[in-house]
Amino acid sequence: MSAHRIADPLDRRRFLTAAALRGATVVGTGVIGATALGAVDADAVFAAPLRRPLDPAVPSSAFVEGRITSIDGGVLEVAGSYGDHARVRLTGATSVWKVRATTAASVETGDGLYARGVPMPDGTVAADAVWVNIVNLHTTIRGIEKTRLHLAHGTHEIVGNLIPDTSSASYSGAAPTADLSGLRIGQGAQVLGAWRPSDDSVDIVRVAVGPGAGHRR
């Protein structure tokens, strides 16, 4: 089938969480705002539950996840994690997220992808939002360096790359800040970021610690 809707939002979250750890794929969203199908910021990927579009005239969304196997013009061939395949069409209106809001030119073969859009008669999904390599991981901080964090997720060790002018910290549910000096070894940390297929590290967008950080699957 050309695309599939993920009926259980928990299954969707489990996949997104595990993707960076097993070399699978994940996707990212675009700028802060919304389309008729919903919000397009990074947190929108993990919002529960899935719902109908904001505009009743717009048909129900289609959701695609997987790894990009080829790119032909603006059409992405996507191999899903459950053996399915889909074709995602990027348009001038598609919101693209890859660590930050970006353009379709930054999407590469081998990237993981999570996309939301509208099914078209030709079998493609016209995407309103595409999230590239996005992950949201519950971790423990094991080491702190100037340019990276060493994180543990269960039995997996992860390198978290700190990105200048992008990485932020949220302490006890407060608004994100560029001040990372409050991070401590041994803290539980919720990490939102983008997986790097080349080395399995994660580019950190936000690390949340302390009460109110939440536990996302």
Tens of pLDDT, residues 138-183: 999 999 999 999 999 989 999 999 999 999 999 999 999 999 999 9
Tens of pLDDT, residues 78-132: 999 889 999 999 988 898 999 998 999 999 999 999 998 888 889 999 888 899 9
How far from each other are the two terminal CA atoms of the chain, in whole angstroms? 27
pLDDT band for position 2 (cuts 50, 70, 90): very low
Query: Of the ranges 2-11, 45-54, 203-212, which one carries the lowest mean pLDDT score?
Result: 2-11
Portion of the chain with pLDDT greater than 70, in percent:
70
Portion of the chain with pLDDT greater than 90, in percent:
54
Nearest Cα to 129, choosing from 67, 71, 42? 42
Total residue count of the chain as it appears in this document = 217
Mind listing the domains of the chain with CATH numbers?
Answer: 9-132 (2.40.50), 135-209 (2.40.50.140)
Write down the pTM of the prediction.
Answer: 0.74
Residue 19 CA: distances (Å) to CA of 25, 97, 201: 5, 16, 11
